[in-house]
Amino acid sequence: MKRSDFPANFIWGTATSAYQIEGAVSEDGRGPSIWDTFSHTPGKTKGGDHGDVACDHYHRYPEDIALMKELGVNAYRFSVAWPRILPEGRGRVNPRGLDFYNRLVDALLEQGITPWATLYHWDLPQSLEDQGGWPSRETAYAFAEYADLVTRHLGDRVKHWITLNEPWCSAYLGYHAGIHAPGQQNFKHSIWASHHLLLAHGLAVPVIRRNVTGARVGITLNLSPGYPASPDPADVAAARRFDGFQNRWYLDPLYGLGYPADMLALYGEAPSVQGDDLITIAAPTDFLGINYYSRAVVRNSDLEPYRFQYVRVGEEHTDMDWEVYPEGLYDLLIRLGREYRPKAIYITENGAAYPDAVADDGGIHDLERVRYFQRHLALCLEALQHGAPLKGYFAWSLLDNFEWAEGYAKRFGLVYVDFPSQRRRIKASGYWFRDFLREAVASS
């Protein structure tokens, strides 16, 4: 599999997010987010890691853009930090926050790299959480105001907009499992949060289209195909419940089907739908972003409310203990193309954490990660050849960074970051990606 097997206009990028790489959390007027609060709460993140400095990207972005140029990507997916723009979440605008993203976007365009901006990548301003957070409908309205402000300022140069990153993580991990910020364990709040996140997306889509000529708008979901641990009908039904929990709860409303009836019955908890919410949520989009890491294999369980249990399978796992299963990406792409018929699909994240180390020769020989990318890209190509509307691929991530509750120990980067010195080193996987992307130039 080589780059020229893909369409010539295929998008090749890398992805990051603000809280995971920027640092400078109290600089130039940025306000606190729920991840500042959560990561500074003892016991919430591995080793008490937090994003105060992270990769110091706020200051080092020219160097990081030079790395993207060296890798040869033609696009870069980053997120705008809401608390940099609106420190209290609403009202007072922080011009120095807008200035940073103006500088970042201009520097990307200068290098011929197309900016793809995610508006929300989990760093909700703390003051909005204090007023109810995503379980409150007001937060959806605040998001629409934030989206209006940012797209009015950047929309002349940024044409690709992702409203939300992984609303499932924000709602389930943040408000029910409690392992992500804000760390609540309240099922009802997680259901309300999921609805207001989707509503926020739906409210923002027309705002972005109004502000940005030629806008391409979408949302990014972390989707996992679910497989039954056995042919036992109870396990097959459990896999269907997992699929509803992880995938259909978001896909169905976004594609005009409303919330899945089987999950509404299972949960016995109705989302806080009002008026035309479901029409708003189903606002037509230009693409679906998919973050794919692995599949789920599940069996039946009496564990309420989801009534499935994960089963660990497979011979090969990443440092996150996720099974390496590229076939799941193929199955997902084919299914989505057939069942939801998105205009376009972009893999907005795919990658793997491995315990990288600097070898005696100064290199980082992350050959498992090279293999991970090769196998997943091969299955992307196969899905594309079998009709999936796949138009681009963003590797997660450009840099080793703050992997949320796992902290800095989980390294996903194509580029190794030595955090004490902030020195960047391109890994073997980065050089592989660079050579893969250069191939078309050599053969054209």
Ligand X SMILES: CCOCCOc1ccc(-c2cn(C[C@@H]3NC[C@@H](O)[C@H]3O)nn2)cc1
Rounded (to 5) percent helix, strand, coil in the chain: 45, 15, 40
Binding string to ligand X for residues 266 to 295, with x set by CB under 6 A, is what? Answer: -------------------------x-x--
- Nearest one of 199, 217, 388, 218 to 288, comparing CA atoms: 218
Which x/- pattern over 300-339 shows residues binding ligand X (rule: CB under 6 A)?
----------------------------------------
Q: How far is the CB of 310 from ligand X (least distance, A)?
A: 8
Q: Which is nearer to ligand X, 211 or 300 (CB)?
A: 300
Residue 10 vs 396, nearer CB to ligand X? 396
Nearer to ligand X, 147 or 399 (CB): 399
- Judge whether 403 is annotated as a binding position: yes
User: Is the peptide bond prior to 115 cis by the omega test (within 30 degrees of 0)?
Assistant: no
Q: Are 22 and 28 in contact (CB under 8 A)?
A: no
**Binding residues for ligand X restricted to 21-80, rule: CB under 6 A:** none
Of 90-98, 172-180, 211-219, 358-366, which segment contacts ligand X by CB under 6 A?
172-180
Pairwise CA distance, residues 294 & 379, whole Å = 13
- Residue 179 as a binder of ligand X (CB under 6 A): the answer is yes
In this structure, the strands spanning 296-300 and 308-310 are antiparallel
Residue (127 or 291) nearer to ligand X, CB = 291
DSSP state of 186: -
Q: Which residue has the tokens 């989980």?
A: 410
339 is catalytic: no
Nearer to ligand X (CB atom), residue 19 or residue 146: 19
Contact 353, 410 (CB under 8 A): yes
Is position 293 annotated in a ligand binding site? Answer: yes
Q: Which of 63, 349, 406, 439 is the catalytic position?
A: 349
Single out the segment in contact with ligand X by CB under 6 A; choices: 162-170, 196-204, 257-265, 278-286: 162-170
Q: What is the DSSP letter of 30?
A: P
- Of the candidates 1, 19, 270, 50, the residue with the CA atom closest to the CA atom of residue 120: 19
345 close to 388: Cβ distance less than 8 angstroms: yes
Does the annotation flag 404 for ligand binding? yes
What is the DSSP secondary structure assignment for residue 4, as one 8-state letter? G
359 burial via Cβ count (<10 Å: 0-12, 13-18, 19+): exposed
CB nearest ligand X: which residue?
177
First to last CA, the chain: 16
CA separation for the pair 313, 28 (Å, rounded) = 47
In terms of CB distance, is 257 or 320 closer to ligand X? 320
CB of residue 220 vs ligand X: minimum separation in angstroms?
8
- Residue 340 and residue 336: Cα distance in Å, rounded? 5
Q: Rounded to the nearest 5 degrees, what angle is found at the Cα of 149, between the Cα atoms of 146 and 155?
A: 120
Marked catalytic residue, from 22, 129, 166, 323: 166
Tell me if the bond preceding 397 is cis, omega within 30° of 0.
yes
Which of 64, 123, 129, 166 lies at the binding interface for ligand X (CB under 6 A)?
Answer: 166
User: Is 396 known to sit in a ligand binding site?
Assistant: yes
Query: Which run of H or of E encompasses 115?
Result: strand 114-120
Q: Are 48 and 411 in contact (CB under 8 A)?
A: no
Mark the segment that binds ligand X (CB under 6 A) among 109-117, 171-179, 198-206, 235-243: 171-179
Q: Is residue 166 flagged as an active site residue?
A: yes
Instruction: Specify the 3-state DSSP secondary structure of 312.
Output: coil
Q: Please, are residues 393 and 377 in contact by the beta-carbon 8 Å criterion?
A: yes
Query: Does residue 177 interact with ligand X by CB under 6 A?
Result: yes
Q: Out of 349, 356, 366, 400, point to the residue binding ligand X (CB under 6 A).
A: 349
Q: Does 403 bind ligand X (CB under 6 A)?
A: yes
Any binding-site annotation on 160?
Answer: no
Question: How far is residue 210's CA from residue 226's CA, in Å, rounded to a whole number?
Answer: 38
Q: CB nearer to ligand X: give 64 or 349.
A: 349
For residue 125, the minimal CB distance to ligand X (Å) is 18
Window 126-155: contact mask with ligand X (x via CB under 6 A): ------------------------------
Considering the complex, what minimum distance in angstroms separates the CB of residue 41 from ligand X?
A: 17
Q: Which residues are annotated as a binding site?
A: 20, 121, 165, 293, 396, 403-404
Residue positions forming the annotated binding site for substrate: 20, 121, 165, 293, 396, 403-404
Residue numbers at the binding site for ligand X (CB under 6 A) = 17, 20, 165-166, 169, 173, 177, 179, 222, 291, 293, 349, 396, 403-404
Which residues are known catalytic residues?
A: 166, 349
